[in-house]
């Protein structure tokens, strides 16, 4: 129960119930932040796992793009953009017998005129405003 090196916190009345912890949310966040900042994210994930604490790491963009499970599960598709092809992530829910279409990313302002016309706005829109 001494996951973060402060065993006295287990019996501290200020944190003994969820209601008590929520009432001191700022204090708890600061305390947890100071205790967890001593570890890099992998060390902390391993330590929490060792003690059976349910937790997951929140990836930054590089961590998401480089996550081995996304490549292993074939979750990336090439998507066209005005600047060339980029990797796009499939939606979370897919079907084994249906390949979801990954349409091209529109250019900036590409559909502005059509949208404004559909809304009955800016009949004098020329598209020059987008450049």
**Per-residue pLDDT tens for 5-43?**
999 998 999 999 999 999 999 999 999 999 999 999 899
Q: 3-state DSSP call for residue 98?
A: strand
Q: Which residues pair with 89 in a beta bridge?
A: 76
CA distance 95 to 85: 24
**Using CA atoms, how far apart are residues 10 and 16, in angstroms rounded to an integer?**
7
Nearest-5° angle of CA 49, CA 54, CA 59? 85
Average pLDDT of the chain, as a whole number: 89
Q: How far apart are CA 44 and CA 128, in angstroms?
A: 52
Distance between CA 92 and CA 78 in Å, rounded? 16
Across residues 105-131, what is the average pLDDT?
82
Determine if the pTM surpasses 0.85: no
pLDDT score for 129: 61
DSSP E strands, 60-129: 76-79, 86-89
* Phi–psi pair at 101, nearest 5 degrees: -70, 135
Place of tokens 């009432």: 23
């Amino acid at each position: 129960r001494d996951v973060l090196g402060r065993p006295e916190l287990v019996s501290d009345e200020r944190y003994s119930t969820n209601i008590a912890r929520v009432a001191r949310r700022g204090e708890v966040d600061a305390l947890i932040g100071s205790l967890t900042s001593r570890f890099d994210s992998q060390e902390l994930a391993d330590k929490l796992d060792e003690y059976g604490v349910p937790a997951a790491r929140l990836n930054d963009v590089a961590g998401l793009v480089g996550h081995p499970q996304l490549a292993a599960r074939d979750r990336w598709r090439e998507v066209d953009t005005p600047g060339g092809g980029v990797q796009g992530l499939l939606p979370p829910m897919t079907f084994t017998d249906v390949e979801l279409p990954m349409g091209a990313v529109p250019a900036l302002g590409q559909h502005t005129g059509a949208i404004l016309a559909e809304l009955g706005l800016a009949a004098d829109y020329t598209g020059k405003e987008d450049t």
